[in-house]
Structures are given as structure tokens and as C-alpha cells.
Amino acid sequence: MASLNEVLDGKSICICAGSGGVGKTTTSAAIATGMAAQGLKVCVLTIDPAKRLADSLGLEELGNEARRVDPALIEEQGVEMKGELWAMMLDAKATFDELIARQAPDEESRDRVLNNRIYQQISSALAGSQEYMAMEKLFELHTEGEFDLLVLDTPPTRNALDFLDAPKRLTQFIEGKSLRVFMKPTGLAAKVTGRGVSVMLSVFKKIVGFDLIADLAEFFNAFSGMVDGFQARAKRVNKLLADPETCFLVVCGPQGEPIDEAVYFHRKLVEAKLPFGGVIVNKVHYPADELEAEVDDLPAALAEKLGDPNLAKRVADNFADYQALAERDARNIDHLAGELRTSCVIRVPYLDEDVHDLHGLTEIDRYLFATAEERVEMAAGRA
Amino acid sequence: MIVTGKGGVGKTTVAVALGLRAASEGKRTIVCEVSSQENASRMFEHTAVGFHEVEMEENLWSISIDPDESMREYVLLQLKVRAMRDMLFRSRIFNYLAAATPGLKELVTIGKIWELAQLDRKVKSGRKYDLVIVDAPATGHGVGFLQTPRTFASIARVGPIHSQAQTLDRFITDHRNTGTAIVALPEEMPVNESMALEKDLRDEVGVAVDRVYLNGLYPERFKKEEAAKLSQLVENENGATRAAARAGLSEFGRARSQRQQLARLKRGVEAPVKTLPFLFEPELDVEAARRLAGRLS
């Protein structure tokens, strides 16, 4: 069984991916904290951390700029901080605006784009723009080379795969190849196919309202000088994602549905030839290790020790419930490991305390960065 | 009834439970999914239903609302001529425009929900439903999703879609007919997000938040004194007794911290909070949802 340290060895980018509600943000923050503690300069890029996570990192709020987490706060948890931990919260709209400012040939074209209503919609609302900007920021930080390791918490997409297609979809949109030709009234295409197209546009206008088309035309005009720059950049972003120094970790939960999604997501990563590193399963119910010493009549044995048959029965029933969950988790994870054919499956136990602060993160790190044997040993002490 | 909340909190289970409840009261009910993941039909161990209204049980129907299919249906209702619609959809430009128009997919999805809720259905052979339950996209997407009609009405200032978008916005914000339920988990971050979500739904979208469901609440199986006894057992014993005592302590700890989150949630939201028990079951199937339905009075 490979450990997380082996998987991340020599990597400069770690992307945590998975469906919503499986603890991606927490896992990303915990990985960043752990790697920083070992001596690296690490930045975790997150999308939407709960306010208290920002609080607990000692940061008033996370802006679109990287902020350093006070090492004293981590050392308070009994962890020696040999490196540096930085965090930033991505603001998709601000990142998009910065990108436009960089790509625009002059101020006038920049403002034309920034003030266009279609642009304002896509920069904040279009599906995929958040994902695209997350990767854009990642690319920017990587190019600047300030950090040894960047950990990206991918946006909570409805579908974990959206973000893989996002750059392509967005550049296609901006290129608008099929549309722009027809929007130039003097273009050759307009002469050849003019009537069919104008029928099409008039039907579309009838449905969505006239000014939308005009806005789109204006948008493409304003963007026309930037298309090449966008394409070139998207290509470099894609190259970076496929680089051997990048590592994708799939994060999931132990229930059937998240496991199925992890399997599906892994398949898509492989198809896209992206470097898969391993899978992290959160909130796993570990089976009780002491079962080797199983007793025939647990309620009776408990009643004897507790001197309370009623309590003993409830303890035994509760134990049976927990064991059933542990068996389910073990079954699901075996299935997952088989499907993924990976040696790196890291099980983080369901901790008794809710994880939402630095204390919780360092707890998680004890499991994340342990070897498989150490994890079993640690978890055996708990339910 | 729009069921919303953060990812992974059990929205589908709650949506199905609400559906089972209403169906058992004799209401003709449909559960709509918008994520094309078919989680609801899967719970009934039914094959994928797609963009069709399929009966799962007596009075309970299911549909997976695909935006492309909704768009086709909408355009047909507008143009009335199937051949013309098909010509339009074969056109690359039309498809591009449809994909490029911000929010159009969400708009036609809400449009379909509206259509399902009409007493006088627009589609042929459509029968009326007493209750339409929407398994909405996760928080973040959810608020944006419900805001689409208003955003759209302001972008397209004229034309049929402008008035359609206004109709949809009025439909969503009509407190007599449309309500929302938020599903939360008894943990720090989901509780925070639910409080923020209620505020956004109320202030930004203008919908009524009828109820917050706190899902997955552990039972309080042990009292404090009993937990102390279990701690002693963990210290002094070995083997299965120790493991069982440890499991008991875990349960006690989780149940207690969840009660704190429940109290925080109740203080932080205006809508009444209803708790749903954690089900110690390997997989949440339709029987599990049925048990939850029994708790939804």
C-alpha cells in the first residue's frame, strides 16, 4: 500500500476531485497542512470553505490573494511546522477579470469586454467558468513558481467531471466559430447561406428576444482580439494538468453512491490521460480489531461487567449497528480498490468530533500521512 | 416543493420520502430530478426514466428533467410545427446559440417544472399533479438555479421568453403554491451553509422556506452516567467488550455534538426545523425512505 507521502513525492500540483459533500475542502486543507509541516512551502486554493475553516486557519477571510497561515496556530496543535502554509479562496469573477486585463490589447477593448452583459453573465454564472478560473489561477501560481506544492480543492460541481471539460467548453464558447462567421453581415458565409441563417436567427430572436443576439455579437467583437491568447493559454493549462508533476487525488465517501462516482471519475481521468495518484475515502467506519476475541454472548458479557442488563443490551445493539456499517464500508472500498487497480486507497476514519478547525485537520493528517499499517493500528483503538 | 441543500446531505432521500408521504395521502405526486443522475429512480430499483413521467408506485411518479429535452419540448410548444423544430435543432448555429445563452438550460428546466405543475398541462396527454417535488441542484448551484428566471427576464427585455421568464419567477416566488425545504446535516459546516442558504433563498430569490430538515441525526442511546461507565470499560477491558464500549462512547459523543448543532441550527434559521434519524443501514433504499416518510408529519 502506497502512502500519501510516496504519492506526492516530487509533485508540484495536487488536485483533489470528487462529488459534493465528501469532504474535499477539508481533505485539501489537511493535505496542505501536512505537506507544509514536513517542510514544503504549500498553498491551498479553495473555493468555498466554511467561514470557520478560514477562522481556524487564523485568517479573517480568504481573498483572491494567497495569505500565510500563522505557523504558531499549527504548532499549538502539537505539530512542528517546518515549512509554510498559505491559503487562498478563489474568486472566479475577479480571476476572470484579471485574465481579461492581461489578454486585452488595450484598455478600450478591456473595458468593452468587462462591461458587456454577456461577459458579466459568463464570468460569474456560466457553468464551467468557476472550474476554468480555478485552473487558470493554478496555472498562474505555478508559473510564478513561488510555491513547492499547490493543492487545489475543485469546485463542488453537480457532476465531478464538469471541471475536466470546462476549459474546452469555455474556449469553444469564446471562439464562437460557428456563430461569428454568420454574425458579420458582410462575410462570405452570409452571402452563401444568408437566407437560411437569417431565418434561423429570426426564429431564435423570436424565442429569446432581440437584444440578446446583439449582446452576443458585441461580445464576440469585443473578444475577437483575445481569442488566440485564450486558446494558447488553455493549451498550456491542459499541458500542465497532464504533467507528471501533477497528481489527481479522488476524494469520496464510503457509501455506495459516492463510491460509484469515484469509480466513474477515475475512469474519466484515465481516459483523459491525466495523472491519477490515489483515492482518499473519508468518514470510514473501521471494523473493531478486537473481534478476534469474539464472545458468544456479548450482551451477557457486557451485563456482567456493567451490572446493568438494559444498558448492556443497548451497548450490544449499538455495536452491531456500527459493525454493520464497518462491513459495508469495507465491502465498498474493496470494490473501489478493485475497480481502480490502485495500491493507494487511504481510509480516513469517521472521527467522533466534527472536523472544522486546525485541530480537526491535524487529526485527519495523522491518518492521511500514516502508512496503511499505522492507520489500522490507530483506528483499532477506536470504533 | 423544492428540496435544496449542500451536496451529500440526502436531498434525494428526503425528496423521495416527501413523495412517498404525499402519495400515501392520495395525492398524485411527481419527483423531478434535474441532475440527470437518476438517483430517485435508482432508489426504486427502476430503470432510468429519462425525460418521461413514469409511475414508481401508486400515485408516485418520477421524471429526470434533461435541459436539452426541455428545450426541444419548449420550442415545439412555441413553433407548433414539429418539422420546423427538428430543422432548428439540426442547425449548428441554433445549438450554439442555445448553449451560449447564459442560463437558458436552467430556464427551460424550471419551465418544465412549471409545466408539470399546471392544472391545465401544455403537453398532450399530460395529467395534472397535486404535488411536484424538485430534487434541486446543490447549494451554490441551487440559488443561482432558482434565480435564473429573474436574471433572464432582465437580459431578454422583450419577446416571448421575457414574459415566460416573468411567469416562471412569479411561479417560484408565489408563497401560496411554491415552497422550499432545506436539507442539512448535524455538522458545523452544513449547518452554517443551511443558515446562509435560508437567507439567500428568502432575501435574494424571494421564495418561501417552509422547513429545514436536519437529516441523519444519531439517536441518544446513552446517558452521561452510562457513558462514564463505558469509559471505564474501555480502560479496563479487552476484546469485544472493549470494542462494544468504544462504539457506545463514539455514539454518545456524536449524538451529543449533533445535538449542539441542532440547537445552533434552530437558533440560526427562521423556518421550523424537523429532525430525521440517522438510519443504520448499509444502503439507503426505498424502504429507508419509507421509514423516513413515516416521520414526516
How confident is the model over B89-110, as pLDDT tens digits?
Answer: 887 777 777 776 767 888 899 9
CB contact under 8 A, B93 and A197: yes
With CA atoms as reference, the chain A residue closest to B261 would be A354
Phi first, then psi: what are they for B264, rounded to 5°?
-65, -40
Residue of higher predicted confidence among A186 and A318: A318
- Scanning every residue of chain B, which has its alpha carbon at the shortest distance from the alpha carbon of A214? B156
Report the share of chain A in percent with pLDDT over 70: 79
Whether this model's pTM surpasses 0.80: yes
Is residue A188 pLDDT above 50, yes or no?
no
Of B93, B137, B241, the CB nearest to A178: B93
Comparing A223 with A110, the larger pLDDT belongs to A110
Q: Is the ipTM of this complex over 0.95?
A: no
Q: Identify which of B52, B57, B34, B44 has the alpha carbon closest to the alpha carbon of residue B13.
A: B44
Can you tell me which residue has the cell 443561482?
Answer: B144
Q: Find where cell 497542512 sits.
A: A33
Nearest to A200 among B7, B91, B245 (CB): B91
Q: Dig out the grid coordinates for B93 from the structure.
A: 448555429
Residue A89 has pLDDT above 50, yes or no: yes
B3 burial via Cβ count (<10 Å: 0-12, 13-18, 19+): buried
Average pLDDT of chain B is: 89
Judged by average pLDDT, the poorest of A263-267, A270-274, B14-18, B74-78 is B74-78
| pLDDT number for residue A220 | 78
Q: Is A125–B101 a contact, with Cβ atoms under 8 angstroms apart?
A: no
B19 pLDDT band, cuts 50/70/90, is very high
DSSP annotation of B219: P
Q: pLDDT at residue A130 above 50?
A: yes
pLDDT value at A129 more than 50: yes
A341: left (phi over 0), alpha (psi -120 to 50) or beta: left
Q: Report how far residue A107's alpha carbon sits from residue A135's, in angstroms, rounded to the nearest whole number.
A: 25
Confidence category of residue A292, pLDDT binned at 50, 70, 90: low
pLDDT at residue A203 tops 90:
no
What whole-number distance in Å separates Cα of residue A153 and Cα of residue A47? Answer: 7
Rounded Cα–Cα distance for residues B52 and B62 (Å): 8
- Are A19 and B240 in contact (CB < 8 Å)? no
- Distance, CA of B234 to CA of B246 (rounded, Å): 6
pLDDT attached to residue A189: 43
Query: How much is the pLDDT for A190?
Result: 44
Cβ–Cβ below 8 Å for B94 and A203: yes
pLDDT confidence of residue A209: 62
Q: Identify any residues that bridge with B103 across adjacent strands, giving them in sequence order.
A: none
The partner residue sitting opposite A328, judged by closest CB among B159, B221, B282, is B282
Q: What is the pLDDT of residue A197?
A: 63
- As a whole number, mean pLDDT of residues A362-370 equals 90
Nearest C-alpha neighbor of A27 from the set A297, A293, A364, A314: A364
Residues 6+ apart with CB under 8 A from B19: B29, B30, B31, B60, B131, B133
- Chain A, nearest residue to B231 by Cα: A306
Q: Which of B39, B189, B230 to mutate to test the interface with A (most CBs of A within 10 A)?
A: B189
Cβ contact B102–A121 (<8 Å) = yes
- Contact: A48, B249; criterion CB under 8 Å: no
Q: Which three cell numbers stand for residue A52?
A: 470557520
Supply B187's cell numbers.
455538522
Could you give the count of Cα atoms lying within 13 Å of A86 in the half-sphere of its Cβ? 18
pLDDT value of residue A383 = 40
Alpha helices of A82-226 — where are they, by DSSP H?
92-103, 107-115, 117-124, 129-144, 162-175, 177-183, 188-208, 210-223
Q: What is the pLDDT of residue A192?
A: 44
Q: How far apart are CA B168 and CA B153, in angstroms?
A: 9
Q: Please, what is the end-to-end C-alpha distance for chain B in angstroms?
A: 15
Q: How far is B102 from chain A (nearest CA, A)?
A: 6
pLDDT at A49 over 60: no
Per-residue pLDDT tens over the stretch A314-362: 999 999 999 999 999 999 999 999 999 888 899 998 888 788 888 889 9
Residues of chain A with Cβ-Cβ distance to B249 below 8 Å are 352, 383
Give the per-residue pLDDT at A319.
93
From B141's Cα to the closest Cα of chain A, the distance in A is 8
Higher pLDDT, B207 or A223: B207
C-alpha cell at A97: 477579470
pLDDT tens per residue, range B120-149: 888 877 889 999 999 988 766 668 789 888
Which pLDDT score is estimated for A187? 46
User: Where does the pLDDT of residue B26 fall: very low under 50, low under 70, confident under 90, or very high at 90 and above?
Assistant: very high
Tell me, what's the pLDDT at B122?
83
- Give me the residue label for grid cell 445552533: B264
